[in-house]
Structure 1
């Protein structure tokens, strides 16, 4: 035993409060400390570094440092004694650590060997594989290696343990270096395989995707980039490299034919017998293994039409059998079939009109109305058996006022009563009084004047006018108030629910609603949602009464649907039941590598099954191939967010980082020429949420590759024939026929294919919807009916906001999925893409493509009519050719705005427009016209009236602006009203 004491004469001076140790004794592997009132022990293992000896005026201090950052000092010792004691502690400490190192030698050498193997690994150093090594290295470093005194143990030992310490300190760098070394060596080792596995050598990007083998690997495979080749080669590589046996590989596809094609291709190319399966097939197998037999599949599971028809039948039966549900169903169709938005929900006329046009505001009686509140009134009248006319011509002739014929909103045919619905709300003024106000984009004074004029007309002609107001709906009493106002004049005769439902069926409104219910039901089941979940989310998203009305119907439909399964299962049950068996371990998976094709189409339920399979063993790898740019099956349950957050959903963990995964961008396309490939990329990336990918085109176009051809009403067939004739003429007589793919957003746009094939034998012509064209390609693609409207493109009836109740996230970008549908259409083409679009109602996509030079769209031969902003509502003024051959510019919002302008009288082609800084309207040909004092878009031209010639607005009778003729030169004498020009 060795001891160090405070010197008696110095201890009171050096340590007057007795805080330092009075004695230190070295006892084996411990240092015993004696203080004034207690004795402590320090293990040599706890020392952070060698003791320090400091000489002072009041003796020498010896300080011991522990790994907990504590310092223990003995003050007032003899200097020589302190130095001797310090040396003995250092020697004991070194002996102790060397002994500990010797004790851990085998463990250290094992870790060291694994760390050194990272320099040139024989297998891809995936996160799951290296994470346990990192854990062992850090534990050893913390308990031993970090405590070894470099001076004491010597440089050889320091150098020996350095790789482990470096790895513990910078694991990500060493793993990244190991990955780089492995990939380089593996690419070289398997070069011949990559050169010959397909008919053409694989690209560098394809080769990289095959040798990369992270916990989760996402291969971004753009259109025509050879994703099937990648999956084929990956499966063959895993087997041939001895990484996996065929039984350990699960090859998944979404469609049965795709799975069959993949199986055949893998075996044909590599000789490896691998059976690809669909998600439903593997799920069904899992159920069979666990339960001993497979439950019967519902008849409608494989037939979407049968599924929709079942929903329709359930709706009909509920109307007939359950009065409470029938009321909810009728209430839905009468008042909530469309989004209950009014002009008060919009800041501009253009936004309001665009929304209204996207809605099918068709009443139960069958006519289209102009606002949601009018729809409510009309349907209430119909439900209660009150016969009416919508917007009839007023029964009395109104004297010439410059206005159009007066068309009241409703006329009740039996009583002759008129109903006018006024879009006004009540607003309190500062003095406490109330005033009527209009929507933000409506001229309040003009609107109130119009209300007063209508009241005067009815008063003068002694016709009964019932008034309703927007503020009544805002206060929740629009329809109850209407009932009270009509009570003295009308006897209500409510129609039976089944009769109303028959009318709804006649209007074909049940079809779309059944599809919505079906989509909602599948998402509801696959996401394991509850009605309470949906109600909670509805409140969060502020979907209001419409969501409540929908859920009232859905709850009953879902309950009845589940009853009608009668022990059978649908595809949602199949996936979820298999996932449950896998999660609980009742099914034990043999799979260690899971390869998934078309990953962008994955749904929440499929993802759950995939995660369950991955979680069963630590070494399971997920290899997903897909293209988020081609995610177009949201209606079928696919959830693009699973791909966008791939690492978070399926990745591993390493060094405190979750979601570890690898992404490989194939980049290269073997299909489209540069103009098409780059334009499609630019188009889809307008949505910043899409994953950015680089594109290497298949070749370079020698002529304009994308053209937009505008089509007048009734010219569809003629224009298509012109395009096909041009393509046919370009095919050399001795060449094989060129392939032409006609694409439509909907099936109903398909032309007479038999006739076209007979007329153009040099062309191999086919038609498909864009959704069904995935995987197809052709020399030339012609996109039909790229028009605006409900069944246009982008479709305005695809995503009902209610689906957000059973979707994890709603895409914020407008027309996000429709934009991807357009990308799919564009990238079916090898050499040319021709888009046929209405000149009166072109698609917003077409307008974007034409206006932005980044797309490089070729102009249509001949003079093309320009687009202008509509000064009345902010929409587009589109050039149209009338039956008489004259050109007019009409607002795109024909039903609502009605702005119609003639072309310049001087040149007969262009549209005169306002010029900043002048009081005139000027045409590009140089002609000028006086501005209209009443409206934003019109100008004055000479007209004749009962009092002679005058200047009148070209928009008459929509605008009655006028001015006197100058006696000398015929110019307008009246100046335009200030502040009336567009800003």
Structure 2
């Protein structure tokens, strides 16, 4: 022990207030500081530097700096004593640091070796492999290395610990450099393998995806980019490189035939016996291992038709029990089968009409009505046994007014009472008074005038009119109010529930609803949802009464479905039970690498199983290959968000970062020529939620590769034959058969295939639905019936908002999945794609493709009619041939709008149109006519009336626009105005 004290007199003069230490002692590995009668300790290892001496006229001051800023100073010491004490402390301080370093030498050397090996790693430095090293390095850094003083331990020791400290301080850079070094070396080391594993050498992107081995790796494999080659090479590489044993690799496919094909391909190409399995196969095996035996599988588990039929049977049985459940089922079919939107939910007539047409608003009586509120009224009348006619011609002849024949909304056949439903709501004016308002696109004054006219007609002819209003539905009393108004005039005779249900079956409304219920049930089970989850989400998404009505039906259907399993399991049970066993550790997984094919089709339950298997061991890797552009099995439970948020769902952790993963874009397609590949990419990326990917096409087209062929009514078979004849002629010139894949959105689109094959032996022709065509390709693809409508393409029946209750996130983009279905159809083609679309009702997809020059779509000369916008509603005016052989232009919204115009009287084919601000309409043939003063689209022609000749609108009697014939046979034309009709 050595002690340094301040000298009494000098010390007092140097430190009169006694703030510095009175004495400092070196006692082994610590320093004792005496100040004002108290003794404190300072470990030598906490000293930041050697003691500092400062000589003055009042003696020498000694300062010891501490790493925690608690410096100690002693003033007024003797100079010789202070120097001796300083040397003793410095020597002890150096000794302590070196002893501490030596005590962790083995640990330091082990960590140092691992850190240095990152310069040229022998294995991919995945986060799960480097994270433990980082944890050890930081622990050593905190416990020792930060406390070592470079001055104390010397330059050699400093150099020794520097790599560890640098790694601990900046591990992201170290890992990134290690990954880069490994990938570069590994690609070179395995070049021969990559050149020969497949019939053609792998592309640079394919090679990269094989050697990258992150905690979670996502390979974006676009259409025709060789994803199977990647999975084959990956499995073989893992074994041949000694990374895994075959039994440590789990290769997962979605379909049994795909699994079998993959197993054969891996073994044939690499000699590695790895058995690919479906999700259900591995799940079934897990259950068998844990339970000792495999439970029986439900008959309908592998048969979608049997599953749908079971749902239909459950519905029927519940109805015939005449319980409260049956009332809920009938209530849904009568009032909530379609999405309850009205004109108030749209800004334009065109949008409103388009939505209404997509909904197939067919009543229980069988007719198609024009609005959701009319549907409610009609179905309520039917339910309550009140016979009615929909839109009958009014029983009295109305004096000529220029209007169409008056057709009230409903006429009760027994009492003769008329019902008119008026699309008006109530609103408070600024002065506090109440006024009626109309939908945004409806002329309020004109509509209210029409209401008054109808009331006067009934008053004049003494017919009973009952009125209903949109504001009554808004206030929740449309049907109760109707019941009160009808009470004095009609006796309600409610039809039995089973009778109504039989009618629903007859109308085939049960089929689509059963499919919706089945899809909902599977997603409900696979996602682990509860009814409370669905109700809460419904409230949050404001899905309203329709969602509640649906859940009132679904709850008993699900309960009955579970009962009918009778101890057997379906595929949803199978996956979830296996995932539970893996989660809880009852099943111990041997797998260290999980390779998943067609990852875009993964569901919540399958994802849960993969996560459970991954969590069993810290070094398990997930290698997923898929294409979110081809995610088209939402109805089967696939959840595209699992792929879009791949890192969040399956990624690892490193340096405080979660979701660590790597994405490799294969990019290159071996299938489609440039025009098809680029057009398909542009088309699918209209949805900004899709993952952007680069595309390298298989070749360059020398002629237009995508063509739209317009088809008039009844011409479908003829146009298809024309297209096939052209392809057959081209194939004959090349003296080799060409493959042709005919695609339809639905099975009923299939043409007479035997006849086509006989007619065109030069072609190898096949038909598939687009969903069934995934993975297939052909020289030429023909897409049938790309028309608008409920059963058109895009299909308007698949994306029911109710499914969002059992989906993690709703896809906000309109027709999101149908757009991906179209992408799949386009990318089956190697050389040409021909799209057959209705001339009168082409689908929105066809319209988009033709409208944008970027797609490079070819249309036969004269086949694409000039686009004309309907001035009444904003829809399209389509050319049709009437029974008289003349060409007419009618609005696409035939049921709702009814705008009809003749072709130009001069040329008989084109449609005269008005330029902005012009007082005449002009035809492309050069003819011109006076504009109609009443409507947007019409023009005036000479007519004869009771008072002689006049100028009348060509749209008469829909439009009563007219003008007198002035001198010079020119009409006096009033100022034009636009009319709005509903």
* Alpha-carbon separation, structure 1, partners of 2:799 and 2:821: 13
Q: Is the 8 A contact 1:97 1:144 kept in 2?
A: no
Cα 1:121–1:965 change in 2 (3 A) is same
Matched, 1:390 2:390: yes
* Alpha-carbon separation, structure 2, partners of 1:69 and 1:814: 63
* Alpha-carbon separation, structure 2, partners of 1:819 and 1:65: 70
Q: Secondary structure at the match of 2:146?
A: helix
Q: Secondary structure at the match of 1:42?
A: strand
Cα 1:61–1:375 change in 2 (3 A) is farther
* Alpha-carbon separation, structure 2, partners of 1:56 and 1:462: 124
Cα 1:182–1:462 change in 2 (3 A) is same
Q: Is the 8 A contact 1:94 1:148 kept in 2?
A: no
Q: Please report how far the alpha carbon of residue 754 of structure 1 lies from its aligned counterpart in structure 2 after TM superposition.
A: 1.1
| Per-residue Cα deviation, 1:520-543 (whole angstroms, up to 9, x for no partner) | 111111111111111111111111
* Alpha-carbon separation, structure 2, partners of 1:372 and 1:221: 44
Q: Secondary structure at the match of 2:446?
A: helix
Matched, 1:170 2:170: yes
Partner residue in 2 for 1:343: 343
Which moves more between the two structures, 751-760 or 770-779?
A: 751-760
| Per-residue Cα deviation, 1:572-607 (whole angstroms, up to 9, x for no partner) | 100011001111111001111111100000000000
Which moves more between the two structures, 590-599 or 727-736?
A: 727-736
| Per-residue Cα deviation, 1:613-653 (whole angstroms, up to 9, x for no partner) | 00001111111110000000001000001011111111111
Partner residue in 1 for 2:117: 117
Q: Secondary structure at the match of 1:402?
A: coil
* Alpha-carbon separation, structure 1, partners of 2:587 and 2:26: 60
* Alpha-carbon separation, structure 2, partners of 1:978 and 1:409: 28
Cα 1:403–1:267 change in 2 (3 A) is same
Q: Is the 8 A contact 1:392 1:409 kept in 2?
A: yes
Cα 1:86–1:761 change in 2 (3 A) is same
Cα 1:459–1:917 change in 2 (3 A) is closer
* Alpha-carbon separation, structure 2, partners of 1:963 and 1:37: 118
Partner residue in 1 for 2:822: 822
* Alpha-carbon separation, structure 1, partners of 2:143 and 2:466: 89
* Alpha-carbon separation, structure 2, partners of 1:917 and 1:394: 39
Matched, 1:626 2:626: yes
Cα 1:16–1:962 change in 2 (3 A) is farther
Partner residue in 1 for 2:972: 973
Matched, 1:539 2:539: yes
Partner residue in 2 for 1:254: 254
| Per-residue Cα deviation, 1:805-832 (whole angstroms, up to 9, x for no partner) | 1110001111110000000000000000
Matched, 1:132 2:156: no
Q: Is the 8 A contact 1:219 1:626 kept in 2?
A: yes
Cα 1:436–1:206 change in 2 (3 A) is same
Q: Give matches, 1:267-666, under 5 Å.
A: 267-666=267-666
Cα 1:305–1:19 change in 2 (3 A) is farther
Which moves more between the two structures, 911-920 or 644-653?
A: 911-920
Unpaired segments of 5 or more residues in structure 2? none
* Alpha-carbon separation, structure 1, partners of 2:309 and 2:849: 39
| Per-residue Cα deviation, 1:909-960 (whole angstroms, up to 9, x for no partner) | 4433343454443444554443332223333333333333333223322222
Q: Secondary structure at the match of 1:692?
A: coil
Partner residue in 2 for 1:960: 960
Q: Please report how far the alpha carbon of residue 199 of structure 1 lies from its aligned counterpart in structure 2 after TM superposition.
A: 1.1
Q: Is the 8 A contact 2:45 2:148 kept in 1?
A: no
Q: Please report how far the alpha carbon of residue 265 of structure 1 lies from its aligned counterpart in structure 2 after TM superposition.
A: 0.9
The TM-score normalised by the length of structure 2 is 0.97
Q: Secondary structure at the match of 1:833?
A: strand
* Alpha-carbon separation, structure 1, partners of 2:222 and 2:284: 31
Q: Secondary structure at the match of 1:672?
A: coil
Q: Is the 8 A contact 1:13 1:58 kept in 2?
A: yes
Partner residue in 2 for 1:779: 779
Partner residue in 1 for 2:869: 869
| Per-residue Cα deviation, 1:409-444 (whole angstroms, up to 9, x for no partner) | 000101111111111111122222211111111111
* Alpha-carbon separation, structure 2, partners of 1:9 and 1:701: 103
Q: Please report how far the alpha carbon of residue 570 of structure 1 lies from its aligned counterpart in structure 2 after TM superposition.
A: 0.5
Q: Please report how far the alpha carbon of residue 867 of structure 1 lies from its aligned counterpart in structure 2 after TM superposition.
A: 1.5
Partner residue in 1 for 2:142: 142
Q: Please report how far the alpha carbon of residue 82 of structure 1 lies from its aligned counterpart in structure 2 after TM superposition.
A: 5.5
Q: Please report how far the alpha carbon of residue 147 of structure 1 lies from its aligned counterpart in structure 2 after TM superposition.
A: 3.1
* Alpha-carbon separation, structure 2, partners of 1:389 and 1:58: 119
Q: Secondary structure at the match of 2:858?
A: coil
Q: Please report how far the alpha carbon of residue 841 of structure 1 lies from its aligned counterpart in structure 2 after TM superposition.
A: 0.8
Cα 1:13–1:804 change in 2 (3 A) is farther
Q: Secondary structure at the match of 2:467?
A: strand
Alignment: residue pair count: 981
Q: Is the 8 A contact 2:872 2:979 kept in 1?
A: no
Q: Give matches, 1:571-970, under 5 Å.
A: 571-732=571-732, 735-862=735-862, 864-884=864-884, 886-968=886-968, 970=969
Q: Please report how far the alpha carbon of residue 193 of structure 1 lies from its aligned counterpart in structure 2 after TM superposition.
A: 1.3
Unpaired segments of 5 or more residues in structure 1? none
* Alpha-carbon separation, structure 1, partners of 2:429 and 2:823: 52
Which moves more between the two structures, 805-814 or 61-70?
A: 61-70
Cα 1:333–1:74 change in 2 (3 A) is farther
Which moves more between the two structures, 122-131 or 903-912?
A: 903-912
| Per-residue Cα deviation, 1:502-552 (whole angstroms, up to 9, x for no partner) | 111101111111111111111111111111111111111111111111111
* Alpha-carbon separation, structure 1, partners of 2:668 and 2:760: 33
Q: Is the 8 A contact 1:670 1:697 kept in 2?
A: yes
Q: Please report how far the alpha carbon of residue 317 of structure 1 lies from its aligned counterpart in structure 2 after TM superposition.
A: 0.7
* Alpha-carbon separation, structure 2, partners of 1:10 and 1:723: 113
Q: Is the 8 A contact 1:220 1:625 kept in 2?
A: yes
Q: Please report how far the alpha carbon of residue 69 of structure 1 lies from its aligned counterpart in structure 2 after TM superposition.
A: 4.5
Cα 1:247–1:6 change in 2 (3 A) is same
Cα 1:963–1:119 change in 2 (3 A) is same
Cα 1:916–1:87 change in 2 (3 A) is farther
Q: Please report how far the alpha carbon of residue 229 of structure 1 lies from its aligned counterpart in structure 2 after TM superposition.
A: 0.9
Q: Is the 8 A contact 1:712 1:881 kept in 2?
A: no
* Alpha-carbon separation, structure 2, partners of 1:61 and 1:708: 96
* Alpha-carbon separation, structure 1, partners of 2:863 and 2:823: 28
Cα 1:443–1:29 change in 2 (3 A) is same
Q: Secondary structure at the match of 1:811?
A: coil
Q: Secondary structure at the match of 1:831?
A: strand
Q: Please report how far the alpha carbon of residue 186 of structure 1 lies from its aligned counterpart in structure 2 after TM superposition.
A: 1.4
Q: Please report how far the alpha carbon of residue 887 of structure 1 lies from its aligned counterpart in structure 2 after TM superposition.
A: 3.7
Q: Secondary structure at the match of 1:868?
A: coil
Which moves more between the two structures, 160-169 or 71-80?
A: 71-80
* Alpha-carbon separation, structure 2, partners of 1:945 and 1:14: 127
Cα 1:748–1:105 change in 2 (3 A) is same
Q: Please report how far the alpha carbon of residue 154 of structure 1 lies from its aligned counterpart in structure 2 after TM superposition.
A: 2.7
Cα 1:166–1:433 change in 2 (3 A) is same
Q: Please report how far the alpha carbon of residue 847 of structure 1 lies from its aligned counterpart in structure 2 after TM superposition.
A: 0.7
Q: Is the 8 A contact 1:770 1:821 kept in 2?
A: yes
* Alpha-carbon separation, structure 2, partners of 1:375 and 1:770: 34
| Per-residue Cα deviation, 1:145-203 (whole angstroms, up to 9, x for no partner) | 23333333332222222221221122111211111121122112211111111111111
Q: Is the 8 A contact 2:357 2:790 kept in 1?
A: yes
Q: Secondary structure at the match of 2:389?
A: strand
Q: Please report how far the alpha carbon of residue 688 of structure 1 lies from its aligned counterpart in structure 2 after TM superposition.
A: 0.8
Q: Is the 8 A contact 2:64 2:71 kept in 1?
A: yes
Q: Secondary structure at the match of 2:822?
A: helix
* Alpha-carbon separation, structure 1, partners of 2:948 and 2:64: 115
* Alpha-carbon separation, structure 2, partners of 1:56 and 1:512: 100
Q: What is the RMSD computed on CA atoms of the aligned residues?
A: 2.1
Q: Please report how far the alpha carbon of residue 144 of structure 1 lies from its aligned counterpart in structure 2 after TM superposition.
A: 2.2
* Alpha-carbon separation, structure 2, partners of 1:89 and 1:22: 17
Q: Is the 8 A contact 1:49 1:147 kept in 2?
A: no
Partner residue in 2 for 1:100: 100
Q: Secondary structure at the match of 1:730?
A: helix
Partner residue in 2 for 1:151: 151
